[in-house]
Amino acid sequence: MNIILLGPPGAGKGTQAQRLVERHGLKQLSTGDMLRAAVKAGTPVGLQAKAVMEAGQLVSDEIVSALIGDELDAMGAGTGAIFDGYPRTAAQAESLDAILASRGRQLDHVIELEVNEDALVARITGRYTCATCGKGYHDTFEKPKVEGTCDKCGGHEFKRRPDDNEETVRTRMAEYRAKTAPILPIYEARGIVSRVDGMADMDAVTASIEAILA
């Protein structure tokens, strides 16, 4: 089983990917992680990538394809892959098909965790934590029992993360749409795209994903 998992920041993609790894023995292939590991290990592809990056250039699709191929070979035929952050372009989608096909694999599912942008803004911008014990709260969904006092430790100071603001959330959503726009139609034409409500409870999201894979 080989899948692509898509979802904007805040949709819980990391948690769901982790659960897929645990439940199905899949391996998560993040191109950024693979690149760093190959450079560190000094593999032939890693050395090539290092030279390109040191020259201030972007790593080519050929290098990324070689990295993915190496990783799939190391995993063995019995282990499925979750692709994370790849492909981003039609050309990369085509390369991925070729990489998989040459190893007797195919892409089975593209699963997108969908979010409602306005609801996501409300969810993220409303959150804050106790400065003393770190307990999480939310302006709308989880207020302290006594206003201004932490339920857990009685502290009175709270803090918000600077990037939990509307502009950042909307920018990230726009970036996400721009990144996935080139590849979703390709997979939609093949009938392998499924969408799951990423705003639902985490366990409900997992159950929906399991139903798709079943």
Does the footprint of Zn ion cover residue 132 (CB under 5 A)?
Answer: yes
Which of 3, 1, 191 shows the shortest CA–CA distance to 109?
3
Binding mask 91-130 for Zn ion (x = CB under 5 A): ---------------------------------------x
- # residues near Zn ion by CB under 5 A: 8
What phi-psi label fits residue 195: left (phi over 0), alpha (psi between -120 and 50 degrees) or beta? beta
Active-site residue, 123 included:
no
Cα torsion 115, 206, 128, 8 to 10°: value is -30
Which of 50, 105, 135, 172 does the annotation list as catalytic? Answer: 172
CB-nearer residue toward Zn ion: 132 or 165: 132
Closer by beta carbon to Zn ion, 30 or else 132? 132
Regarding 153 and contact with Zn ion (CB under 5 A), the answer is yes
Told to judge if 172 belongs to the known catalytic residues of this protein, a careful annotator would answer: yes
Is 143 near Zn ion (CB under 5 A)?
no
Q: What kind and span of H or E run contains 128?
A: strand 127-130
**What percent of the residues of the chain are helix, what percent strand, and what percent coil, each to the nearest 5?**
50, 15, 35
- Entry field: residues in the chain: 214
Among 133, 178, 211, 212, the residue binding Zn ion under the rule CB under 5 A is 133
Going by C-beta distance under 8 Å and a sequence separation of 6 or more, which residues neighbour residue 98?
65
Q: How far is the CB of 150 from Zn ion (least distance, A)?
A: 3
Q: Which of 27, 50, 103, 127 is catalytic?
A: 127
Q: Which residues of the shown chain bind Zn ion in the complex (CB under 5 A)?
A: 130, 132-133, 135, 150, 152-153, 155
